Amino acid sequence: MNSQRIADIVAKHGLEKFRAKQISDAFFKKHVRSWSEVAGLSAAVKEKLNAEEPVLRLTEHKLLESSDKRTYKALLKLGDGRIVESVLMEPLPGHWTACISCQVGCAMACTFCATGRMGLLRNMDSEEISDQVLYWRQFIAARKMDVQLSNIVYMGMGEPFHNRRHVFDSIDELTNAEGFGIGSRHISVSTSGLVKGIEELADRHPQVNLAISLHAASDELRDRLMPVANKAHNLDDLAESMQAYLKKTNRKIFIEYILLDGDNDSQAHAEQLATWLNKIQAKHLLHVNLIVYNQTESAHRESSRERARAFLGALEHRGVSATIRKNLGRDIDGACGQLAVMDQK
């Protein structure tokens, strides 16, 4: 459900124009699940809409809950039978974040990411993307959870800037004050480094947070870990794009760096990363999120906590702002890099 679809439904079923706001308020503010709960519509209209106009373009296929009840993972079936995964998590007490997908699978083939093993099956359209947020809002309301969905991150299945048109349309929808009404600074988009998408984000949504999946500070290593992304735009291209983004937006960039035991987690790798980051002007607007690898079926292994702390210390010694991000949802394969649905229609 989005604002355009509501307008189409009002026109298609001959409803008065003012009904659009009633419908919008019902779904985006009250988070109702069916047309039967929309106030102001006649019983006959509700019955017709329930039969002909599904509220969501996706349905719950399976729901998993972590043992600490701070992470939920939903397998959501799309209209063509394809399945994507979406995650609701509580990284900080009382602050809930929805991690949403934008593609069924991914073409980037990053060696440490489960989604990359699927290959790209198709792009999701903007309504399928934003419907994940509506699904989680309905989930929270139905369970009477006394919380709000605080943040949205495009860090699920797929490379957002490989599906730019639909991703940016979905951001337009999520930030529409008459619809979802989510503030731009509560939305983050993560990219493996596709330059055109970074440029477009700076132009269209300069207040939306940008995260760069880096994972290596040499082209040789990045070619091995992220073959498609780095061959499209190497580290020099990426640094130039980041510099232009910082100049245009004056907004912080978050650098995501997954620590892989023996591959990219040595002191030399930390110094290499610090050197690369320190070449970028306005380095006070750069922050590194270190992520201890979440196990998938790849040959990679997670770095030890001691090695991760040593890596963090080396960055801080070189003047780089950094933290080790806490992993949530590992027990339901809902953590960073673990999303994948191999059994597709």
Contact 181, 200 (CB under 8 A): no
CA–CA separation, 224 and 195 (whole Å): 19
β 95-99/83-92 pair status? antiparallel
Q: Which residues are catalytic?
A: 85, 336
pLDDT value at 334 more than 70: no
What would the pLDDT profile of 298-330 be if each residue is shown by its tens digit?
889 999 999 999 999 999 999 999 999 877 655
Percent of all residues in the chain with a pLDDT value above 70, rounded to a whole number: 95
Domains annotated on the chain, with CATH = 1-55 (1.10.150.530), 58-332 (3.20.20.70)
pLDDT for 183 equals: 97
pLDDT for 114 equals: 85
Q: Mean pLDDT score of the chain, rounded to an integer?
A: 93
pLDDT value at 47 more than 70: yes
> Considering only CA atoms, which of 62, 61, 32 is closest in space to residue 49?
32
Which letter does DSSP use for residue 36 in this model? G
CA–CA separation, 23 and 220 (whole Å): 53
Contact 260, 300 (CB under 8 A): yes
Contact 205, 171 (CB under 8 A): yes
Q: At 338, is the pLDDT very low, low, confident or very high (cuts 50, 70, 90)?
A: very low
Q: What's the pTM value of the predicted model, to 2 decimals? A: 0.93
What would the pLDDT profile of 102-136 be if each residue is shown by its tens digit?
999 999 999 999 888 899 999 999 999 999 999 99
Q: Where are the alpha helices (H) located in the chain, listed in sequence order?
A: 3-12, 19-28, 43-52, 126-142, 164-174, 195-204, 219-225, 227-232, 235-249, 267-278, 305-317
Residue with tokens 């992220």: 226
Which letter does DSSP use for residue 335 in this model? S
Instruction: Name residues whose C-beta falls within 8 Å of residue 326's C-beta, 6 or more positions apart in sequence.
Output: 91
Q: At 343, is the pLDDT very low, low, confident or very high (cuts 50, 70, 90)?
A: low
> Considering only CA atoms, which of 226, 218, 252 is closest in space to residue 323?
252
3 state DSSP class of 153: strand
3 state DSSP class of 193: coil
